[in-house]
Amino acid sequence: MYEVSSIFCSRKIACKSPYGAVPSGETVRLNIYPLRSAGILSAELLLTPDGSQAQTLPLHWNGYKGARDRYSIELPAGAPGLFWYCFCIHTEKETYYICRSSGGEGTVQDQPGSLFQMTVFDGNYAVAGWFGRGITYNIFPDRFCRTEIPPETGYRSERHVHHNWSDTPVYQPNAQGEILNNDFFGGSLKGVLSKLDYLESLHVQTIYFNPIFEAFSNHRYDTGDYQCIDPMMGTEEDFCTLCREAGKRGMRVILDGVFSHNGYDSRYFNARGHYDSVGAYQSKESPYFDWYDFSRWPDQYSSWWGIYTLPQVNEMNPKYLDYIITGADSVIRHWLKAGASGWRLDVADELPDAFIAKLNQAAREVKPDALVVGEVWEDASNKISYDVRRRYFQGGELDSVMNYPLRDGIMAYLTGSPAEDFAEKIECLRENYPRAMFYNLMNIIGTHDTPRAITALGARPDDWGASRDFRANHRLEGEALAHAKQLLKIAAILQFTMPGSPTIYYGDEAGQQGYEDPFNRRTYPWGEEDTELLSFYRTLCTVRSQNPALIDGELEFLEAKGAVLLYQRASEEERVLVTVNRGSEPVSYALEGAQEARDLFTGDGYADAEELVLELPPNSAQLYQLH
């Protein structure tokens, strides 16, 4: 056997060019470098288009590189899709395969093993790249801000309104064993409008709303009427005003589209008879009947994850397509014309590719730079759902996805996982995603579907197995809170310095705590903010907005070992270094290629004409501008 680390590495231009995902039709150059002493007779590329048979293509001897031979092949990238590959080497004595291992390195095996991935995409599709350049603020509408306490009357009788803004959301089941999510706090569009100065102080450029349409529940993922803003939130006129006023401040608005299912209590299904329509539950003659899949009408039907209040729809039904996408005043078109700049697609894994493509096309017809973001929790480039390989990034579907792999990597690293694992997770995405997508990701550390970031970082392992009553009432305090706050600051620095749009889940910046749903959906603590944490976030938002390298600079990991992580973002104008030490001991790092550094938080400068050495305190992260 010969050393494998230099035979092939998919992340090195000397081995694969161009780097990472490839536009369709572009020439790809692959080189392997076996030791000459191995006695190579021939070498081959085993290339498998996704879902097809493997092709065996000969590599050609192409000269020497030190003590190694170079075998090469050039081939045009085919139609958009995924291609899997490894190499086969025949020697005088044996046949080996060069397969993928960590870091994109090739490893020698007796049989084909893990394959390298090559993503081919439509290079003519231009993503809505404005999104990744700015900061996003994620608002759970009922819980961000209200201008008045909504009256109990005037809305559905099932709704309970909290008069105390700081109440704990209802989390106990009713007598029938159900948690109805029908308690409301009254957050509204006018409330958001009243806080635009606040959002501007955080340099927010995109407001992302969880659902705002009429629904039975407070989370509104059980849509009741796609054409109507929930009356407790306001009116369509209020929405237009908000979009207009936000636009004056350089902010855009994107909406949550819940299109794989809607509500049991909706204009379309109408199981409770609250609407004046004839719903599919009420009659087979309903204009909406074909939207649903009944196994036995009316009370046996497909529903999202078996939850009866969320009946699934047949997305490709022509009537449904017309209503949501293709019609002249479809849901997609209507709200873009009203002022929205894009859509986030709930459970994108459950929407057919053809549906997403039609939605994207309709959105672009209304606004050429309309954004379409998908909720995908894994690597979206190779995602399989319901036995189908998804085409999200191959052109004409998604402009971005929620970056859950980044969140998972940050949380794991800050709670004990080695820095090597974090760097590898990010590098896998960078290699697999088209560059425009990688720089357009929705970078999250918390959402309405996850525990609050500060709680996830500070909770004890036993907390998660404790009673719901415990998690409803428990708060981090004292040293535990101080430690969690410090970890949250490090998490935010990682989030804000990765390519993509750093997305703040409302209240995280103010120190709001909470375990799982509904405790992660508490109200924004107006007047009770953690002012020190909020000041930190304001500074971080300013740094992100004012340093071009953090917006579109290249990413390079310099050190990832144990508790220590260092990487830089470099543009033509500047270099920004990120240093993290989540360990308990200080670390010194000698910085090559720079004689001066300025701390972007404190403004302090450091200089050394020979070798600049930076001190990394324990449990800390710093940002430096390098010269």
List the catalytic residues.
346, 375
CA distances from 610 to 422, 559, 567, 593, 613 (A): 31, 21, 21, 10, 10
Q: Per DSSP, what are the bridge partners of residue 566?
A: 559, 579
Q: Which of these, 327, 339, 271, 275, lies nearest to 303 by C-alpha position? A: 271
Q: Per DSSP, what are the bridge partners of residue 99?
A: 107
Q: Which of these, 69, 51, 114, lies nearest to 87 by C-alpha position? A: 114
Residues 6+ apart with CB under 8 A from 593: none
* 494 contacts 405 by C-beta, under 8 angstroms: no
Residues 6+ apart with CB under 8 A from 166: 523, 525, 528
Bridge-based pairing state of the strands 620-626 and 575-581: antiparallel
Q: First CA to last CA across the chain, in angstroms? A: 44
**Residue 467, token pair as written in the block:** 């009673």
CA distances from 537 to 325, 508, 529 (A): 38, 9, 12
Tokens 């200089």, located at residue: 607
Q: Which class for 473: exposed (0-12), middle (13-18), buried (19 or more C-beta within 10 A)?
A: exposed
Bridge-based pairing state of the strands 204-209 and 501-505: unpaired
Dump the DSSP string for 48-87: EETTS--EEEE-EEEEEETTEEEEEEEEE--SSEEEEEEE
* 513 contacts 452 by C-beta, under 8 angstroms: yes
- For residue 519, how many C-alpha atoms fall within 13 Å in the half-sphere facing its CB? 20
